[in-house]
Amino acid sequence: MAILFQSTPASVARWRPFLTKAWPGRDLRFWPEIGDKSTIDYALVWHPEPGLLASLPNLKLILSLGAGVDHILRDSELPRGVPIVRLVDPYMTQAMSEYVVLQVLRLHRQDFAYRAQQAAGEWRELAQKNAAERTVGLLGFGQLGQDAAAKLTGLGFDVAGWSRSGRTVPGFRTYGGAAGLNALLRRSEILVSLLPMTPETEGVLDARLFARLPRGAGLVNAGRGRQLVEADLLAALDSGQISAAVLDVFREEPLPAAHPFWRDPRIIVTPHVAAETHPPTAGAIYAQAIEDFEAGRPVANVIDRDKGY
């Protein structure tokens, strides 16, 4: 049995010593040194090259090196019938919640305005709402969204969540479907997107969506870059419909040096770091998935390809 690890050169360098130590005796192959393709049973991948997975004739299980699987599903040659496992890691959930809380507080406490005042040498107190008076909406209300919502609620924010299915979550106001999306947007002074990448969420953060938010709303996008229509965000910022935005994901990564987001004082850019994969915890989860598969037990977090998550 062989396990292929495929990712960026930096990620391979970071994971190689950990996996070699954590999985002694395993036949580990690190991209691009993969050896005999016919002997590879499992693949841990991040943005695999089109056709790579299809070239492994005895592949049994595909494991995503992140919470999202859109980087796998976009491969037109993806082999049918091979289960795909997304990463659900409490460490990453905690990290995402930290990021969301930080950025919601940044927007809530008017950090953008105070930074502008500091640059101008202006000492002026701004009127400030209490957290209980601030409405926050989360797009995407799975494990990540629910954990972030719980932590925001603990700080006193008025939080609601939206999911495609409109699942009921005890203790939270939840919405679903198109009508539910309208209702959530109307009440969200700060909107946080944690949506998975699917054909339905491509370009969802656009002018039509921004127009349904309260004027001057703040935006946090830690979902996927292709969900944001960048020109529409800049127009919404110029009109005042959106007051400020924090973006962790982008259509092109790394974000090109000439991109206008870098120099816009109304936008904070972070380099896709909201919830990075953590080798010690993720490695144990991957090992358990492979062990369960080999033993014929159900494997946790196998995705539904039709839904895209």
Catalytic residues: 224, 272
Tokens 């090196």 identify what position? 65
Q: What does 293-305 look like in DSSP terms, one character per residue?
A: HHTTPPPTTB--T
User: Across the beta sheet with 217-221, what order do the strands follow?
Assistant: 173-176, 158-163, 135-139, 190-193, 217-221, 242-247, 267-269
C-alpha distances (whole Å) from 150 to each of 27, 133, 156 are 41, 17, 10
Residue 289: closest CA among 23, 55, 16, 39:
23
Element (H, E) at 177: helix 177-186
- Contact between 188 and 155 under an 8 Å Cβ cutoff? The reply is no
* β partners of residue 160: 137, 173
Element (H, E) at 30: strand 27-30
Residue 32: closest CA among 12, 56, 46:
12
User: Across the beta sheet with 27-30, what order do the strands follow?
Assistant: 27-30, 2-6, 40-45, 61-64, 84-85
Structure-block tokens of residue 143: 């494990």
